[in-house]
């Protein structure tokens, strides 16, 4: 099996590269290193069945060269940061929407067997009802979400127009080792880095905005179940724990788990367009694939903090103080 993983040097993509390289599939990792990191995949470069391609999904000629030998595509490459999408909406759209279109079209031209597209709960915007199932309106209020809606809907069009096997996996927040703790990193990584280095987490607004967190191993499991599922999944499918946690509760949990009991989060102005509540209804994933998040948040967080203490780099910690 030859698997192309776009965004393979990023947080989630690198875990997929690792799993399938170690299971002896031929893995092509395509990344332009806009947000990816060579340290996520360097250990895989000694495997003969792993190939790193430093390239861009906006480069259709490159995709045309790669795709003829590919059986499966895990499409994760994206500009993932909401804040950056507000500053650079065009770049975000070019990568997330038009880049996805490139991947789909190249896959169509060369009869790729199956594509798993990394969609996101951010397409929904703030909940109109809870928990959110796949029929929830797509109300993303920011350019990141809008560009991911375009990608999600283009996948849908390719499924229903060309009969392609494309799974639209709408993941709620994922966390775990290798998630960036600098710049626009994931909130759990950033809070952990700050708390461990003795500075309080920063919360935008009152901190009552909620999210639904899934540990990386559960997300990888979801990918694997989709890969092995022998029928087409023609409608989007949610993956989330079904439990909501406020940012304030999250900050306090990290403070506790890092043994910094006297620390208090700092509140600053709310961010424009920030989604207020996200909670998954993942009943469809359970029904179709038998998937259910196995890790509870505290267990996943303990594993993450343990990893971070051992492998979170000095450099990252120093950069965070700038």
Ligand X SMILES: NC(=O)c1ccc[n+]([C@@H]2O[C@H](COP(=O)([O-])OP(=O)(O)OC[C@H]3O[C@@H](n4cnc5c(N)ncnc54)[C@H](O)[C@@H]3O)[C@@H](O)[C@H]2O)c1
CB of 261 to ligand X, least distance (A): 28
Nearer to ligand X, 70 or 77 (CB): 77
Nearer to ligand X, 152 or 165 (CB): 152
Of the candidates 105, 121, 120, which has an alpha carbon nearest to the alpha carbon of residue 154?
A: 105
CA–CA–CA angle 172, 189, 115 (5° rounding): 40
Angstrom distance (rounded) from CA 122 to CA 145:
5
CB of 161 to ligand X, least distance (A): 22
Angstrom distance (rounded) from CA 292 to CA 221:
9
Nearer to ligand X, 70 or 263 (CB): 70
Angstrom distance (rounded) from CA 291 to CA 257:
28
CA dihedral 213, 217, 218, 221 (to 10 degrees): 150
Angstrom distance (rounded) from CA 276 to CA 43:
39
Nearer to ligand X, 164 or 280 (CB): 280
Sign of CA dihedral 249, 247, 209, 216: negative
CB of 252 to ligand X, least distance (A): 21
Which of the residues 20, 144, 213, 215 is marked catalytic?
144
Nearer to ligand X, 6 or 192 (CB): 6
Angstrom distance (rounded) from CA 235 to CA 168:
7
3-class state of residue 183 by DSSP = coil
Sign of CA dihedral 307, 39, 35, 117: negative
CB of 147 to ligand X, least distance (A): 9
**Are the C-beta atoms of 82 and 144 separated by less than 8 Å?**
yes
CB of 231 to ligand X, least distance (A): 23
Is 144 annotated as catalytic?
yes
Interacting residues with ligand X (CB under 6 A): 6-7, 9-13, 30-36, 56-58, 76-80, 95, 99, 118, 120, 148, 171, 173-174
| Residues recognised as catalytic | 144
């Amino acid at each position: 099996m030859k698997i192309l993983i776009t965004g393979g040097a990023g947080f989630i993509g690198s875990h997929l590269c690792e799993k399938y390289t170690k299971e002896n599939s031929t893995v092509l990792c395509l990344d332009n290193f806009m947000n990816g990191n060579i340290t996520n995949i360097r250990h895989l470069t000694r495997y003969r069945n792993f190939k790193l391609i430093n390239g861009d999904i906006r480069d259709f000629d490159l995709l045309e060269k790669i795709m003829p030998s590919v059986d499966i595509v895990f499409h994760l490459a994206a500009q993932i940061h909401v804040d950056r999408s507000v500053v650079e909406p065009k770049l975000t759209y070019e990568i997330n929407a038009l880049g996805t279109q490139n991947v789909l079209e190249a896959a169509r031209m060369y009869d790729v067997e199956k594509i798993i597209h990394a969609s996101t709960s951010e397409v929904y915007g703030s909940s109109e009802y809870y928990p959110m199932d796949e029929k929830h309106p797509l109300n993303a209020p920011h350019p990141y979400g809008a560009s991911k809606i375009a990608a999600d809907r283009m996948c849908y069009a390719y499924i229903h127009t060309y009969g392609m096997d494309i799974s639209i996996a709408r993941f709620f927040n994922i966390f775990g080792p290798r998630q960036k703790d600098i710049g626009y990193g994931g909130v759990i990584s950033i809070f952990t880095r700050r708390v461990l280095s003795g500075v309080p987490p920063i919360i935008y607004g009152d901190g009552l905005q909620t999210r639904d967190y899934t540990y990386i191993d559960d997300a990888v499991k979801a990918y694997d179940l989709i890969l092995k599922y022998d029928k087409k999944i023609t409608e989007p499918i949610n993956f989330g724990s079904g439990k909501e946690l406020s940012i304030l509760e999250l900050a306090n949990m990290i403070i506790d788990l890092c043994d910094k009991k006297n620390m208090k989060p700092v509140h600053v102005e709310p961010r424009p367009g920030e989604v207020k509540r996200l909670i998954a209804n993942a009943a469809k994933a359970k029904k179709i694939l038998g998937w259910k998040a196995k890790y509870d948040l505290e267990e996943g967080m303990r594993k993450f903090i343990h990893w971070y203490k051992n492998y979170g780099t000095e450099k990252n910690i120093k950069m965070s103080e700038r």
